[in-house]
Every structure is written in C-alpha cells, then in structure tokens.
Structure 1
Amino acid sequence: MAEIAETADTPVREVAILCSGVALGVYLPGLEIARRLRSHGVRGRVFVLEAFQPADVEDALIRARERHQRDFRALRMSQQLVRDISPTLDAAALAALAARLDAAGTTHLLALSGFWLPWAAAYARERAHCTLEALHIDSVPSPSWLPYAQRPEFAQAEHRYFIDRAAPRAAFRLEIGEAAPVAHAQRPPELLLHGGGWSVGTFASAVDDVLAAGYRASIVRGSAADLQPREGVRNLLLDPQWRAWRDTGPEQLGEFPRLGFADADGELRYRQSDAVPDLFGITRASLAVVSKPGGSTLIDSMAAATPVLFLAPSGKHEQANAEAWIALGYGAWFEQWREDGAQREALERMHARLLRDRAQVPEYCRQLAAELDAR
C-alpha cells in the first residue's frame, strides 16, 4: 500500500500499534489495522514487543512453543503464571522508541498486548496530546493483561473489546482485504483446521471426524515433520523460521507470515501476500474453521462470514469467546456439531447470520479514524 501523502491541507495522523509477535493472535490484527487505517488517511505503525527484549528471549519462546505444541495442558498452566515482563525490556530501545514517536507526532497509542501497558501508560501520562487505548481481541482480558488488572495503568487506558460479552454482540469488526465474503453455495465441501499462531490445541485429532463426515480438510500443521500426505487433506505450514520481531523490525509496517503449501511429495511452496494473510484467503473459501476459540479467529470469522466450530479453549478468555460466538449463532462446539450429524445446513445457517449481522457491526478502523478526525 502506498505511503500517505502529507500536505498542509491533509495532515497525517500517526497511531502507534503496540503488539506482540510471539503468537499471531494480536500481531495479525495489528498489521491488518495498520493497513486499513492507511486507507482512511491515518498512518499506523506496528511495533513488536519482542524486538525490545534480549536476543536470548527468542530461544526461550521457540522452546515454549514446541513444549505447548506437544502438551496443550502446559499452555493452559503457563497462562495462569503470567507475570509482568517490564524488567526484560531494553530501556535504551524504549527511550529511542519514545523519541521516534515524539518526532512523528504520535497522538494515539493502540495496545493490543497487555505487556506494553506499563510503558505505554507512562508515555501517555507525560504527553497531554497522546491518548492510550487498550484494544482487546478477546471478549475478556487475556493473560497478557492480567498482571496489570489491579494497577493504575489499567484504569488509565480506554478499554475496547471486539466482542461485547454482556450483550452478547460483536462490538467491532475488521475489514480484511477488499473482497466480499464468498457465498456459501460457492464454497467447496472443505473445512480449515488450525491451532492459532502457535499451532496448539486438539485440532489435529479432528481430521478423522471431518473426513468421515464427507468433507475435505485444509490443516495448518505444527511442524514439517507433520506434513504426511493423506487423501482429502491439504497440508499447510506457517514458515517456522519466520519471526515477526526479527524479519520486520520494530520500525516497519510489518509483513504477514509466509504460508507453505505442501505438494503430494511433501515439498513446500511458500506464499506471502502483502495485502492479507494467506490463511485468510483459505478461511474465506472454507465452509467453517475448526479451531480453539482465539479472538483473532473470530475476527477472521466475521470478516469472511465463515462460522467457527470450536475445540477446547486454552483458557477462560477463549471459553468466553466461544460462548459469545455460539450465543450469536456464529459457531458451535465441534463435538456437538459432529454429534448432530455434521450437517452442511447448520454451517449455512451460521454463515447467513454472520453475513446478515456484519453489515450492522461498526468497522473498527473507520470508527477510529472518525474519532481522530473529531479531536
């Protein structure tokens, strides 16, 4: 997308999008927001938390991902032990970031990860012209926010949620790319299975049920070792060497991860779109997504009008997401759908509700740009 032209008549508004690259659940929405804001005349800049941590953090993160892929219970337990990571952040790098935001005239900080909150709150407190927004991808605060829930910084931020659990309703949606949702009748009998950015959860065990019900499966595997050819299955792999914090750096707009498509002989062909995540294109064409209830998965669901069949959640925040989505008629528990006959008609009804309701849900970037204009 071309840079925004700045003239005296069209001042450029600058938003700093503070996310994390360790999992894609907040990183991808951050990139999508940055791109969409630019279509509204707002320059969104993405900053990745891990770029401000020591180099040895990367090894620890990769080990944690591999451990959680092997043992989903370990992920659930680790989420209960989340602590403030501020002491691990590079003070000099953060000071340089503050200077860069000052030079750009940044007036709005948009934090998608709670780990940014102490630094972002301090930055905004010292600059009367700068506001701080905590944008929650999930319907309740996810683990990265919990260490700060009782601290003054939490109350300092304006909190907004994509899902209003109390209603329940989708409070906002994201427009991803320019293409409209694919009509249900035009979608092949195929389901997409994945485990979020870390490929964790029980999704791999659902393949047999999907095939037995007469559907094909696209599945995002956790590693190259899992790319075993199978009739009716398209194997996919997020590039295991790609790192949001290493490949894009803290000052750039950011790149979507490379997605590998496995040939029959197991050879991978990678794609990397600049406009939308390549996996979103598969979401648009699928009858449903089978996954744990991550907030980013629900953002994709609304954008593509593709229902979600939920597997076991990783924590209370994902449980809340699933309950809200099911109450709205946009999804179902996978086991319940299977026991009810794995009917395509049920998926069509969910698709129709998503398609009907999404037109009434405010598009987040359009609303934020209007609010910035009104200041």
Structure 2
Amino acid sequence: MLKAENTKITILGSGVALGVYIPALLVNYQLKKQKLDTEVVILESYYNDESKEKLKTYKKAYHNNFSIALMGHRMTKDIQPSLDEVLVDNLLQTWTKENRLNFIVWSGLWMPILERYRNKIAPDKLNIDICRIDADISATFKIHKDNSQHDHEVWLWNWEQKKLVNEIPVTTQPPIPYTQRNNRFVIHGGGWGIGTYQSKIPELEARGFLLDIVVYEIKETTQIKPENRYFMVDPEWSPWDKNQSNEHEFPPFGEVTISDNKCFKNKENYHEFYDLVKESQAIISKPGGGTLIDSLASATPIILLEPYGYAEQRNSDIWEYLGYGISYEKWKSMDYSSEILEELHQNILNRQKTTINYPQSYAEKVCSNFVGNKIL
C-alpha cells in the first residue's frame, strides 16, 4: 500500500450523535490500517464553554422527553454562534499551513467552516466526501445544502434508489450463525438514550424475553432484574475530549451490576457495543444510522421503534423494504415471532454483494491519485 506522507485525510465528525461519531472513528481506523495519514476532528471541540454546557442540558431533556427531542430535531439550525472563533481560526490556520485538501464529512454542521476554508485557499482544490448516514439527506446537511452541492455524495443507503450503496465494515469477522446466538435482545435509544424504547421494556419482560438494556443514566438500573443485563457508556466520557494518546476514542462501555458499576472499557478498532449486537437475536431501537451499520455488519435484524425525525423514518422504510427489519407493532401482531427474525437475519446474509466497501474504496482512490501524481 502506498504511503501518503504529505497528504492528511481529515475526518470531520460530531459528538452530538454517536451515529455520526462512531462511523467517523471506524473509517479513521480502517484508513490507518491502509497506511494513510488521517485525523478525526470533532465539531464540539470548537464550541464555546457556554454552548457545551447547553448541550448537556439538551441531552438530558431529550432523553427524558421524546416529544421535546422531536421538536428540537425540527428546529435544527446553524451552530456558528456556538463556536469559539479563536479555536476555529486556529484550526483553519493549521489546515492552511498543512495544505489539507482531503475531507470526509459526517455532519452538515461542518459545512460553513469548510466553506470558509474553501474560500481561503482556493475554491477548486478541496476533495470533500459528504457521507450520508441516513437514507434521506439529514437535517444538518439540509440546512447547509448549498454549501455541499459541488462535493462528492457518499450514500450508505438511499431510499429514493431503494438500495444499499456503500458499507462500512465493523470487524473482519463474519456474522455469527443465528442458531449459535444468545437468546437475548438488545434494546436501546441511541447515544442520547432517546425514543420509545423504555416503554417497551415492561411488555417484553412480561413475555419472558431476556433483555440487554443500554441505559443512559445509572439511576435507570436501581431496580435491576436478574434476567436482564444492563449496559451503558461511561457517563464521565465526552466524545469531544481526547484520550492520553491525543486521539478521539470509541466510547468506554460496559455492563452495570450491583457489585460493580464502573467496568467501562473500549477497543481501538471498533465499539464495544457491537459485541452485544453480534450475539443478539435482534436490536430493538429507533432506526439511527449507526444502528443500521451494526445491523448490516452483524446480520442482526432491527425491530424498529418510532424514528427520530424524517431521515430516520426513511431508514426505517428502507430496512423494512429490503427485509432487514420489522416494525415493533407488526412484530407484536405476529405474536413476537422468532421465525420472522431469523428470516430477516437470512435476508441480510443473502443480500447481493454489490455494495462498496467505503473505507477500502476511499483508500484505493486516494492511492490511485498519488500514483497519478507520482507521489510514491
């Protein structure tokens, strides 16, 4: 593999949603394995202190009340007033000094900053991949649609085309056969613990299902039931802070028990939560993009809960259309059928291998450009 020692690939993510944070880190790790020079930059690192504190308030409110979360989604707006201009100016100076040209973007909220950089160094120089984590253009990109019209769109799944386009592998291991999996279900509400998942837990427990519940706050485990397991992301971890190696890292994650509620750990190459998903009968969750990545990579079907906004609705639509998921209501009407879940698992396994391995194809594209420019 060619080494691009003078060309750094900048991967722009956000910590507001793990569904755009974790894919950025997956792509980063896999490009580094291809000997490419990469850096992940998280938008909230450039927020002013007041805005960071407001984010914590929003997260708690959205977790506590899904209606408030949906209202906030409809009011998605430009975050430029939230930025620390000194930090942003320093960032742009660094990019200019290092002649950064290659960007992979996971949040549309980066687009005004990229536009400033584009105008600063020359309009036609930048190579920008706009990554679509949803089956429709997500809200953060819609409000900055004009800024991204000349860049390269990378769809993972596209509702209009009714198909998968690109994939992001999580590991190199094949999916676990369905008959060898734990007789358990993962249930969660995404990185902010939002949605209707909590309301489904009592009726699932009443049916005797064994649940792996991803909680958002430690207080949610005060009435631990022995048949369930409880997991969470380390509440002291922040996606916009770096670790001791000065790198952004996958969320520290672990099981919460009565005897030990600080058992968090993480891996270098993928998120710990995936190890739960790959052994489960199904994921019970709203259809966030990160959940779809996990579903596809592990061949684990999704029992689809109410979506967070119009773009997640399209995620739900395409997963049902392709036969990879089923709405909770339909599954319930089928008396919580295990047979339909195994059928959905097989559908994912049997899908046509016509999608593009995005990190691999990106590495090949970049290295091809280096050959063309005689940078060996």
Q: Indicate whether the TM-score tops 0.5.
A: yes
**Matched position secondary structure for 2:263:** strand
Which residue of structure 2 lines up, in the alignment, with residue 317 of structure 1? 311
- Structure 1 residues 320-351: Cα deviation after superposition (integer angstroms, max 9, x where no partner): 11000110000010121121021221111111
In structure 2, which of residues 4, 24, 36 is the aligned counterpart of residue 11 of structure 1? Answer: 4
Equivalent-residue separation in structure 1 for 2:261 and 2:126 (angstroms): 49
Which residue of structure 1 lines up, in the alignment, with residue 374 of structure 2? none
Moved more, 302-311 or 155-164: 155-164
Q: Write the letter of the residue equivalent to 2:226.
A: E
Q: Write the letter of the residue equivalent to 2:314.
A: A
Q: Write the letter of the residue equivalent to 1:100.
A: T
Q: Does 1:244 align with 2:216?
A: no
Which residue of structure 2 lines up, in the alignment, with residue 36 of structure 1? 30
Are the aligned partners of 2:4 and 2:367 in contact in 1 as well (CA < 8 Å)?
Answer: no
1:126-275 map, 5 Å: 126-127=121-122, 128-149=124-145, 151=146, 153-227=147-221, 228-248=223-243, 252-265=246-259, 267-275=261-269
In structure 2, which of residues 6, 15, 23 is the aligned counterpart of residue 21 of structure 1? Answer: 15
Q: Does 1:113 align with 2:107?
A: yes
CA, structure 1 residues 194+357, in 2 after alignment: closer, same or farther (shift >3 Å)? same
Equivalent-residue separation in structure 2 for 1:276 and 1:115 (angstroms): 25
**Matched position secondary structure for 1:345:** helix
Over aligned residue pairs, what C-alpha RMSD do you find?
2.0
Aligned length: 365
Q: Write the letter of the residue equivalent to 2:131.
A: L
Q: Write the letter of the residue equivalent to 2:239.
A: A
- Structure 1 residues 20-60: Cα deviation after superposition (integer angstroms, max 9, x where no partner): 11221101111111001112232221101011111122211
Which residue of structure 1 lines up, in the alignment, with residue 278 of structure 2? 284
Equivalent-residue separation in structure 2 for 1:366 and 1:29 (angstroms): 14
Equivalent-residue separation in structure 2 for 1:69 and 1:93 (angstroms): 30
Shift of 1:94: 2.2
Q: Write the letter of the residue equivalent to 1:57.
A: S
State the TM-score, normalized to the length of structure 1. Answer: 0.92
Which residue of structure 2 lines up, in the alignment, with residue 351 of structure 1? 345
- Structure 1 residues 281-336: Cα deviation after superposition (integer angstroms, max 9, x where no partner): 11111111000011111011111111111101111011011000110000010121
Q: Write the letter of the residue equivalent to 1:257.
A: P
Gaps of 5+ in 1: none
Equivalent-residue separation in structure 1 for 2:137 and 2:246 (angstroms): 27
Are the aligned partners of 2:20 and 2:106 in contact in 1 as well (CA < 8 Å)?
Answer: yes
Shift of 1:192: 0.3
Q: Write the letter of the residue equivalent to 1:245.
A: W
Shift of 1:100: 2.7
Q: Does 1:330 align with 2:353?
A: no
1:300-315 map, 5 Å: 300-315=294-309
Moved more, 29-38 or 343-352: 343-352
